[in-house]
């Protein structure tokens, strides 16, 4: 089993990511942290609890995250995710799984429980992680690897002209994260806006996914009905923002890349140093996935527009599924009156700093969306038995 800790701010694309995680049979979801970002902390906490409970997973502890960013004022995203953060979905509050352990402590405890093995996935602002670093500065060396949705590197933003939402919400926390995790043995993998924006969910694909789930557990079909209601709002938002009646779904990609990366690395270890090609060891039957992530990227199906600001002299990497990545020194602007929260990659090496992040630059979005569709249509297996202890416990 792959131990994983998910820090999020649901959020509609966060909900898809949680659903994707629930569909994986070899994941040990040690905990979910939720804190302010797309909505206030109390609301996103309720959303995380409710999406999980709706899937029968009240066994996964949910941890309350920070109420405020480290510095600066809060700004929420009601117009993007709806007043409750779940679009038009009517989620029933269920606090069964609410833990008395706060998010920062939960990060640290999960890392200590699985030293060197825990995959950390950050799908919201970095506040809890920054607070966890205060509690345990060794966190970057205790985690197996950190995967982050965030940033917009030398690219237009989606919040202020050049800033992405998660980083804008808490720039100090993001800066702290890049600084500390840059010292990790495995550099943190960053799914930034310019890459994840290529993951475009269409209403047609959503409809096909729901239709494809006709053989899944009734409870899962019900979960997908709620997701459809949430996404209807998300489609409308993107249309009002000039993107058309579609949705950019950033978070599920980053989570899936983390899971598949860990799975491939485990297979390489199992097969020994002879198994140098991860593709050879990722049979569809073994992984439970009908396609091989990243394979079409390797075979040149990806249209790769040349980006003038992208370096030609940095080495491209390819061990993140569905992705091409580049390692670079990155940082966050904390003071600019127009650019606070902007993420910057030093393509030219002007700072003279070692790379502290592995940035996803290109994604084979079609292959990933096919994979996501098949995964969500399959649903969790087995569907969890109803909890015998449905009473909400204190705290
Ligand atoms: Ca999110």
Find the 207 Cα to ligand 1 centroid distance in Å: 23
Number of H helices, E strands in the chain: 15, 13
What per-residue confidence (pLDDT) applies to 270? 86
pLDDT in tens, 14-51: 999 999 999 999 999 999 999 987 788 999 999 999 99
Percent of residues in the chain assigned helix, strand, coil, to nearest 5:
40, 15, 45
**Does the structure show a pLDDT above 90 at 179?**
yes
CA triple 366-32-210, angle to 5 deg = 40
pLDDT at 123 exceeding the cut of 70? yes
36 CA to middle of ligand 1, Å?
10
Lowest mean pLDDT among 86-100, 218-232, 308-322, 357-371: 308-322
pLDDT value of residue 93:
86
Distance, CA of 293 to CA of 30 (rounded, Å): 25
Cα of 75 vs its chain's centroid, Å = 20
The Cα–Cα gap between 235 and 248 comes to 9
Tokens (6 digits) for 270: 């199992």
| Residue 392: pLDDT band with limits 50, 70, 90 | very low
What pLDDT was estimated at residue 325?
95
Give dist(CA 229, CA 87) in Å, integer.
Answer: 7
Classify domain 2-389 at the CATH class level: alpha beta
Q: Detail the DSSP E strand segments found in the chain.
A: 2-8, 27-34, 62-64, 119-122, 145-149, 189-191, 200-201, 247-248, 316-317, 323-328, 330-332, 343-345, 357-363
Question: What is residue 300's predicted lDDT score, i.e. its pLDDT?
Answer: 36
**What pLDDT does 394 receive?**
44
Q: b vs e for 217-237, b when ≥16 Cβ sit within 10 Å of the residue's Cβ?
A: beebeebbebbbbbbbbbbeb
Nearest to 229 by CA among 7, 372, 51, 93: 51
Q: Could you tell me which of 262, 221, 232 has the C-alpha nearest to residue 378?
A: 221
Q: What's the half-sphere exposure (Cβ side, CA atoms, 13 Å) at 134?
A: 10
pLDDT tens-place string over residues 268-312: 888 876 544 444 333 333 344 444 454 445 433 444 444 545 554
Answer whether residue 255 shows pLDDT above 60: yes
- The Å distance, Cα 276 to ligand 1 centre, comes to 34
- pLDDT (0 to 100) of residue 296: 43
**CA dist., res. 21 & res. 15, Å (int):** 10
3-state secondary structure of 22: helix
At residue 219, what are phi and psi to the nearest 5 degrees? Answer: -60, -35
Separation of 258 CA from ligand 1 center, angstroms? 15
Segment among 232-246, 308-322, 369-383 with least mean pLDDT: 308-322
Q: How far is CA 209 from the centre of its chain?
A: 20
DSSP state of 115: T
More confident residue, 72 or 221: 221
Q: Give me Rg for the CA atoms of the chain.
A: 19
The pLDDT value recorded for residue 287 is 42
CA 149 / ligand 1 centre spacing (Å): 8
108: Cβ contacts below 8 Å, ≥ 6 apart: 132, 135, 136, 139
d(CA 243, CA 255): 24
DSSP track, 120-152: EEE-S-SHHHHHHHHH-TTHHHHSSEEEEE---
Dist. CA 351 → ligand 1 center (Å): 30
Catalytic residues: 250
- Compute, in angstroms, the gap from residue 171 CA to the centroid of ligand 1: 15
pTM above 0.85, yes or no: yes
pLDDT at 317: 76
Beta bridge partners of 89: none
Q: 9 C-alpha vs ligand 1 centroid, how far in Å? A: 5
What is the β-pairing status of strands 2-8 and 27-34?
parallel
Q: Using CA atoms, how far apart are residues 70 and 125, in angstroms rounded to an integer?
A: 10
Average pLDDT, the chain: 89
How many A from CA of 252 to the centre of ligand 1? 9
Q: Residue 264: which pLDDT band, with cuts at 50, 70 and 90?
A: very high
Token digits for 50? 């409710």
Token readout for 324 is 């091409």
pLDDT tens column, 180-235: 999 999 999 999 999 999 999 999 999 999 999 999 999 999 999 999 999 999 99
Note the pLDDT tens digit of each residue in 130-177.
Answer: 999 999 999 999 999 999 999 999 899 999 999 999 999 999 999 999
Report the chain's terminal Cα–Cα distance, integer Å: 29
Residues 6+ apart with CB under 8 A from 290: 284, 374
- 271 C-alpha vs ligand 1 centroid, how far in Å? 35
Give the pLDDT score at 59.
97
Residue 84 to residue 46: CA distance in whole angstroms: 9
Instruction: Check residues 387 and 241 and name the one with the higher pLDDT.
Output: 241
- Where exactly are the structural domains of the chain? 2-389
* pLDDT at 274 (0 to 100): 55
Residue 190 Cα to ligand 1 midpoint, Å, equals: 13
% of the chain beyond a pLDDT of 90: 78
């Amino acid at each position: 089993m792959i131990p994983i800790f998910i820090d999020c701010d649901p959020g509609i694309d966060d909900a898809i990511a949680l659903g994707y995680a629930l569909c994986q049979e070899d994941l040990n979801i040690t905990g979910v942290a939720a804190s302010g970002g797309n909505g206030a902390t109390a609301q996103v906490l309720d959303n995380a609890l409710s999406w999980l409970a709706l899937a029968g997973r009240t066994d996964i502890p949910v941890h309350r995250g920070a109420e405020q960013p480290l510095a600066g004022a809060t700004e929420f995203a009601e117009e993007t995710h709806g007043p409750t953060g779940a679009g038009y979905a009517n989620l029933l509050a269920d606090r069964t799984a609410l833990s008395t352990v706060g998010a920062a402590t939960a990060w640290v405890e999960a890392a200590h429980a699985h030293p060197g093995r825990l995959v950390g996935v950050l799908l919201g602002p970095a506040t809890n992680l920054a607070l966890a670093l205060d509690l345990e500065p060794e966190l970057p060396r205790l985690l197996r690897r950190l995967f982050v949705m965030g940033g917009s590197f030398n690219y237009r933003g989606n919040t202020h002209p050049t800033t992405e939402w998660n980083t804008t919400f808490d720039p100090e926390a993001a800066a702290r994260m890049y600084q500390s995790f840059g010292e990790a043995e495995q550099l943190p993998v960053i799914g930034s806006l310019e890459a994840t924006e290529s993951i475009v969910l269409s209403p047609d694909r959503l409809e096909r996914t729901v239709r494809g789930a006709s053989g899944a557990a009734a409870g899962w079909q019900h979960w997908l009905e709620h997701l459809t209601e949430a996404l209807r709002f998300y489609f409308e938002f993107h249309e009002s923002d000039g993107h058309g009646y579609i949705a950019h779904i950033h978070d599920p990609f980053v989570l899936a890349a983390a899971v598949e990366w860990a799975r491939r690395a485990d297979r390489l270890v199992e097969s020994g140093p002879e198994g140098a090609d991860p593709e050879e060891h990722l049979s569809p039957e073994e992984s439970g996935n009908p396609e091989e992530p990243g394979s079409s990227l390797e075979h040149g199906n990806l249209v790769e527009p040349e980006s003038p600001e992208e370096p030609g002299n940095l080495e491209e990497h390819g061990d993140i599924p569905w992705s091409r990545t580049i390692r670079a020194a990155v940082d966050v602007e904390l003071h600019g009156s127009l650019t606070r929260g902007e993420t910057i990659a030093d393509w030219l090496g002007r700072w003279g700093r070692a790379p502290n992040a592995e940035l996803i630059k290109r994604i084979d979005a079609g292959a990933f969306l096919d994979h996501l569709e098949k995964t969500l249509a399959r649903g969790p297996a087995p569907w969890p038995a109803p909890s015998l202890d449905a009473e909400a416990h204190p705290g």
